[in-house]
Amino acid sequence: MDIVEANGARIPTPGMGTWTLNGRLCAELVAHALALGYRHVDTAAAYDNEEAVGAG
């Protein structure tokens, strides 16, 4: 997996974006991405989907 270095952080690419996701679909997609090996999940409080991301 490729790694990007930014501001001292090592971030794996690709990442999974969660901006437009919420509810059960969000949780299922995050869980699936993690099962596939994703380790970079893009989140922000402004997305208002923290509970669903955490459930995934």
Contact between residue 17 and residue 8 where contact means Cβ atoms under 8 Å apart: no
**Which of the residues 22, 28, 29, 47 is marked catalytic?**
47
Task: Tell me, yes or no, if the pTM score tops 0.85.
Answer: no
pLDDT single digits (tens) 1-44: 789 898 999 988 889 999 999 999 999 999 999 999 998 999 99
Main-chain phi, psi angles of 51, to 5 degrees? -65, -45
38 is catalytic: no
Q: What distance in Å separates the CA atoms of residue 48 and residue 46, rounded to the nearest whole number? A: 5
Q: For the beta carbon of residue 39, count every other beta carbon within 10 angstroms.
A: 12
